[in-house]
């Protein structure tokens, strides 16, 4: 069974940093590209970042470019999101999602971890 388990969320002050993790199991993690998608309270889904299987290709949403860094450790079956210079508008539930190719759709999602940016 595919499992994605996020962790690392919490309350942080504006300007602070946080590192999210996503532990993958039940599939060959190194064979899949991965993404972070977030959802602000009461709002819709917003894509945040993408990383290819080897980490050679990385993309970010304009809203987080220069502040967030995605990475992965295939040996540890883990995905990460380093978030710096956090803003109020970064408050959201952050999901990691497995991307299937071809078709480029997200077939598995974690349960999400809540990040709250507030003073």
Partner 1 sequence: SYELTQPPSVSVSPGQTASITCSGDKLGDRYVCWYQQKPGQSPVLVIYQDNKRPSGIPERFSGSNSGNTATLTISGTQAMDEADYYCQAWDNTTPVFGGGTKLTVL
Alpha helix stretches (DSSP H) within 6-96: none
Q: How far is the CB of 89 from partner 1 (least distance, A)?
A: 17
DSSP 65: T
**Part in contact with partner 1 (CB under 8 A); list of ranges 22-30, 68-76, 82-90, 108-116:** 108-116
Structure tokens given for 72: 């992965």
Instruction: Candidates 5, 23, 61, 114: give the one binding partner 1 (CB under 8 A).
Output: 61
By three-state DSSP, how is residue 90 classified?
helix
Q: How many helices (H) and strands (E) does the chain have?
A: 0, 11
Task: Verify binding: residue 80, partner 1, rule CB under 8 A.
Answer: no
Which spans of this chain sit near partner 1 (rule: CB under 8 A)?
35, 37, 44-47, 50, 59, 61, 95, 100, 103-107, 109-112
């Amino acid at each position: 069974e595919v499992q994605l388990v996020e962790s690392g969320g919490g309350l942080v002050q504006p300007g602070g940093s946080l590192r999210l993790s996503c532990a993958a199991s039940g599939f060959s993690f190194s064979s899949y590209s991965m993404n972070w998608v977030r959802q602000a309270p009461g709002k819709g889904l917003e894509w945040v970042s993408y990383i290819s299987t080897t980490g050679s290709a990385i993309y970010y949403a304009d809203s987080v470019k220069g502040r967030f860094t995605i990475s992965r450790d295939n040996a540890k079956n883990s995905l990460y999101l380093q978030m710096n210079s956090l803003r109020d508008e970064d408050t959201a539930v952050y999901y990691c999602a497995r991307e299937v190719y071809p078709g480029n759709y997200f077939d598995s999602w974690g349960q999400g971890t809540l990040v709250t940016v507030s003073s």
